[in-house]
């Protein structure tokens, strides 16, 4: 078997296709399926047990735990699943992948969803070229889905074909006589093989072949199966490379879950193998250990005869062939049962520690200031709390929402002073991502408040809900204007026009006033609507007047300076657009403050 440089390049290309497919699918999910798919997944994963069932069913259908975990990582990346939900689904995927081993044992057949990849791409073409943005995004989702599975399939086909050439690994026989040391060695071999082959199912097939040939005793093949459970986690970790911090945590949780499972299985390894052997024997399949002993008793010449389906055999050789094939079935069933039992016990035990695993990966991979992702802090993704408590939770979430939009404005400001085009592009991409996050957060909070309004609320709370809905809308508008500001700055940079020092100073003056207005707004948001003082409102109104006055002053100066040809008219366009966006942000801020003032007055009247 030759492995050329071309084959190596094909391997790298397959990895690139896999990563691109994952990214494209994640983006398509965010654009198309966000709300509806999240709602479906929330129902399906409303508790840990249902999450496990979901992962099991998905993996049973697509016949690949790697693909399931990759999709889970993309769902987490898109904000469709929380970390806790993702961990439970991954646990279920580990059980679901054992079905593949049984299919191999029973039929030697494995359905590959990659066979449908090209037809899926064909179906996506009309959506891809659609002028409707939703349909276009759906086309991206389909193409990403297809490329993901094509990438997985090509990864398996681009490595040395160990599955079709198991004799390459016959040399491993010489390492089978070192007791527990051999167990650890073959666990490592199983891990490395799965990392190379990129499929635990393919490695399981290799292990079944090696064991059924009598090259490995049952317990060492079982050790390889344990290693395959560790090796399969590499796929999710590769998928998490371009993803956000939550997706990286989900991938790490998958690794931790499997490693902890392998540790306890190693501690009870020989008794565990004995129990599996007893169960297979009890089911009438014979002992999975019998094959190794049988192959040692058969000469190479006789083995060649009984494994040749066309050979003419004596009655004694026919009996030997029957014994040999029965022993092969028993060994194959034994490995499949070992794989299934291990994952069932591991999931049952570790299900109680999902919260601990989530906390551990959060500590290992902390959230950084530069990590931009969609996440809700206080609002539950499951059922509502009591209606009154739901308002408190929504109020806290709105505060976080406001902080995120203020951060978005600050990022847009930094774009104004970016040193070069590369830095400017990176900053703009962050603002663009924040805009998408802001839009989704607005929808989630508004939906939550609407549900809360359907419950039993006091009159004061009903007024608060209506006020909070408007506040959410105004805060999202701050984000919209921040994004428009960033687009204007990029347009100015792309035009290659430079502002005079006076113009730059004026824009920065507007930034300072908007910062002050945002600071006052945050003080208002930190107060209870009913307890807000008039001093907060007066301070905000004063800053709003200053912003309007400065805007009018700069507008007059701009008209004069353009007329005097101090700078071209086209330069003044982006300049005044920036001033105008800052003034709009000031308007949205005062709308938030006035909404609090209006609600405060209504609450006061209600109490009187």
- pLDDT band for 80, please (50, 70, 90 cuts): low
Joined together, the tokens standing for residue 141 give 């989702």
Residue 395 sits in a domain whose CATH number is 1.20.58.220
Task: State yes or no: pLDDT of 43 exceeds 70.
Answer: no
How confident is the model at residue 240, as a pLDDT? 75
Q: Is the same domain home to 85 and 216?
A: yes
Q: What is the CA radius of gyration of the chain?
A: 31
pLDDT above 90 covers a percentage of the chain that reads 15
Q: Is the same domain home to 306 and 411?
A: no
pTM: 0.56
492/573 Cα distance (integer angstroms): 9
Domain endpoint, select from 347, 363, 379: 363
Instruction: Among 272-276, 471-475, 597-601, name the one with the lowest average pLDDT.
Output: 597-601
Joined together, the tokens standing for residue 344 give 């069932």
Q: pLDDT higher for 357 or 536?
A: 357
209/546 Cα distance (integer angstroms): 79
Q: pLDDT higher for 188 or 45?
A: 188
Let me know: does 468 contact 543? Beta carbons within 8 Å. Answer: no
**Residue 532: HSE in the Cβ half-sphere, 13 Å Cα cutoff:** 29
Domain count, the chain: 2
Task: State yes or no: pLDDT of 472 exceeds 80.
Answer: yes
Q: Is the same domain home to 357 and 483?
A: no
Q: Which residues of 51-80 are buried (b: 16+ CB within 10 A; e: fewer)?
A: bbbbbbebbbebbbbbbbbbbbbbbbbbbb
In a domain, 381, yes or no: no
Domain endpoint, select from 303, 329, 363: 363
Cα 380 versus chain centre, distance:
19
227-241, 415-429, 443-457: which has the highest mean pLDDT? 415-429
Closest CA to 227 of 247, 197, 252, 271: 197
- Residue count (the chain): 608
Q: What is the pLDDT of residues 290-309, one digit of tens each?
A: 777 777 777 767 777 777 76
Let me know: does 211 contact 249? Beta carbons within 8 Å. Answer: no
How confident is the model at residue 577, as a pLDDT? 93
Q: pLDDT higher for 177 or 488?
A: 488
In a domain, 462, yes or no: yes
- pLDDT band for 385, please (50, 70, 90 cuts): very low
In a domain, 200, yes or no: yes
Q: Is the same domain home to 341 and 397?
A: no
In a domain, 215, yes or no: yes
462/41 Cα distance (integer angstroms): 30
Joined together, the tokens standing for residue 350 give 């570790």
In a domain, 212, yes or no: yes
Q: What is the DSSP letter of 30?
A: I
In a domain, 375, yes or no: no
Task: State yes or no: pLDDT of 553 exceeds 90.
Answer: yes
How confident is the model at residue 383, as a pLDDT? 43
Please state whether 108 falls in left (phi above 0), alpha (psi between -120 and 50) or beta: left
How confident is the model at residue 557, as a pLDDT? 92
C-alpha dist (Å) from residue 491 to 308, 426, 554, 566, 579: 74, 15, 20, 21, 15
Task: State yes or no: pLDDT of 457 exceeds 80.
Answer: no
Place of tokens 């007791």: 179
- pLDDT band for 476, please (50, 70, 90 cuts): very high
563: enclosing H helix or E strand? helix 534-563
The full DSSP string for 319-337 is: HHHHHHHHHHHHHHHHHHH
Q: What is the pLDDT of residues 108-141, one digit of tens each?
A: 434 455 677 888 889 888 888 887 777 888 888 8
How confident is the model at residue 140, as a pLDDT? 84
Q: What is the pLDDT of residues 234-262, one digit of tens each?
A: 877 776 776 667 778 888 888 888 898 89
Tell me the average pLDDT across 398-422: 89
HEC letters along 52-70: HHHHHHHHHHHCCHHHHHH
In a domain, 378, yes or no: no
Q: Is the same domain home to 481 and 356?
A: no
Place of tokens 């179906």: 123
Residues 6+ apart with CB under 8 A from 310: none
Tell me the average pLDDT across 469-486: 92
Compute the C-alpha angle 593/599/600, nearest 5°: 85
Let me know: does 206 contact 169? Beta carbons within 8 Å. Answer: yes
In a domain, 599, yes or no: yes
Q: What is the pLDDT of residues 147-185, one digit of tens each?
A: 877 876 676 566 554 444 545 555 565 666 677 888 888
Q: Is the same domain home to 459 and 598?
A: yes
Instruction: Among 69-73, 228-232, 353-357, name the one with the lowest average pLDDT.
Output: 69-73
How confident is the model at residue 164, as a pLDDT? 46
Q: Is the same domain home to 394 and 348?
A: no
Integer distance in angstroms from the first to the last C-alpha of the chain?
A: 89
Classify the C-alpha dihedral 337-343-344-345 as positive or negative: positive
Q: Is the same domain home to 92 and 217?
A: yes
How confident is the model at residue 588, as a pLDDT? 93
Instruction: Among 59-63, 333-337, 431-435, name the one with the lowest average pLDDT.
Output: 59-63
Q: Is the same domain home to 348 and 422?
A: no
Q: Is the same domain home to 431 and 316?
A: no
Tell me the average pLDDT across 144-148: 81
How confident is the model at residue 477, as a pLDDT? 93
Domain endpoint, select from 300, 329, 363: 363
Q: Is the same domain home to 300 and 415?
A: no
Backbone angles phi, psi at 201, to 5 degrees: -65, -40
Q: Is the same domain home to 279 and 182?
A: yes
Joined together, the tokens standing for residue 82 give 């929380």
Let me know: does 142 contact 123? Beta carbons within 8 Å. Answer: yes
The range of the structural domain enclosing residue 203 comes to: 5-363
Joined together, the tokens standing for residue 430 give 């962050």
Tell me the average pLDDT across 575-602: 87
Joined together, the tokens standing for residue 589 give 């801020």
- pLDDT band for 550, please (50, 70, 90 cuts): very high
How confident is the model at residue 375, as a pLDDT? 62
């Amino acid at each position: 078997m030759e492995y050329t440089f071309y084959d190596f390049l094909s391997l790298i290309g397959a990895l690139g296709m896999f990563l691109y497919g994952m990214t494209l699918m994640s983006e398509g999910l965010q654009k198309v399926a966000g709300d509806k798919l999240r709602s479906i997944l929330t129902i399906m994963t409303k508790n840990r047990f249902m999450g496990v069932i979901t992962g099991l069913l998905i993996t049973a259908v697509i016949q690949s735990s790697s693909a399931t975990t990759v999709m889970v990582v993309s769902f987490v990346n898109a904000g469709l699943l929380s970390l806790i939900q993702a961990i439970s689904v991954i646990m279920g995927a580990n059980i679901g992948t054992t079905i593949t081993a049984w299919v191999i044992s029973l039929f030697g057949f494995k359905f590959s969803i990659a066979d449908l990849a090209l037809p899926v791409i064909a179906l996506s073409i009309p959506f891809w070229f659609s002028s409707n943005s939703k349909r276009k995004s759906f086309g991206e989702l389909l193409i990403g889905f297809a490329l993901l599975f094509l990438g997985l399939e090509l990864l398996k086909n681009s490595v040395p074909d160990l599955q079709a050439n198991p004799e390459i690994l016959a040399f491993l026989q010489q390492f089978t006589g070192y007791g527990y040391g051999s167990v650890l060695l073959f666990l490592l071999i199983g891990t490395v093989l799965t990392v190379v082959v990129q499929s635990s199912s393919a490695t399981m097939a290799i292990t079944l072949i090696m064991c059924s040939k009598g090259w490995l005793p049952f317990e060492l093949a079982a050790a390889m199966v344990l290693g395959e459970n560790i090796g399969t986690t590499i796929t999710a970790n590769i998928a998490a490379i371009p993803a956000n911090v939550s997706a990286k945590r989900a991938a790490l949780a998958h690794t931790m879950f499997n490693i902890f499972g392998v540790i306890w299985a190693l501690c009870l390894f020989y008794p565990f193998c004995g129990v599996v052997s007893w169960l297979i024997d009890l089911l009438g399949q014979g002992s999975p250990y019998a094959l190794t002993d049988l192959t040692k008793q058969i000469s190479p010449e006789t083995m060649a005869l009984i494994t040749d389906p066309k050979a003419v055999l004596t009655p004694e050789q026919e009996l030997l062939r029957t014994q040999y094939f029965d022993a092969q079935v028993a060994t194959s069933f034994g490995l499949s049962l070992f794989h299934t039992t291990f994952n069932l016990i591991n999931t049952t035990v570790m299900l109680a520690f999902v919260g601990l695993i989530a906390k551990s990966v959060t500590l290992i991979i902390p959230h950084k200031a530069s990590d931009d992702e969609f996440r809700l802090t206080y609002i539950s993704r499951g059922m509502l709390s009591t209606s009154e408590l739901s308002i408190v939770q929504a109020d806290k979430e709105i505060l976080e929402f406001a902080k995120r939009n203020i951060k978005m404005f600050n990022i847009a400001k930094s774009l104004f002073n970016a040193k070069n085009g590369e830095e400017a592009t990176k900053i703009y991409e962050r603002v663009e991502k924040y805009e998408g996050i802001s839009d989704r957060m607005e929808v989630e909070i508004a939906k939550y408040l609407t549900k809360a309004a359907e419950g039993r609320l006091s009159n004061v709370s009903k007024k608060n809900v209506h006020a909070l809905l408007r506040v959410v809308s105004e805060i999202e508008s701050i984000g919209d204007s921040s994004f428009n500001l960033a687009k204007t700055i990029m347009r100015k940079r792309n035009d290659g026009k430079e502002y005079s020092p006076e113009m730059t100073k004026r824009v920065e003056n507007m930034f300072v006033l908007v910062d002050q207005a945002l600071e006052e707004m945050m003080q208002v948001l930190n107060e209870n609507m009913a307890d807000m003082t008039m001093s907060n409102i007066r301070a905000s109104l004063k800053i709003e007047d200053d912003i309007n006055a400065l805007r009018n002053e700069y507008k007059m100066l701009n008209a004069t300076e353009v007329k005097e040809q101090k700078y071209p008219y086209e330069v003044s366009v982006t300049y005044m657009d920036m001033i105008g966006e800052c003034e709009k942000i000031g308007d949205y801020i005062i709308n938030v403050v006035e909404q609090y003032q209006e609600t405060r007055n209504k609450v006061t009247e209600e109490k009187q």
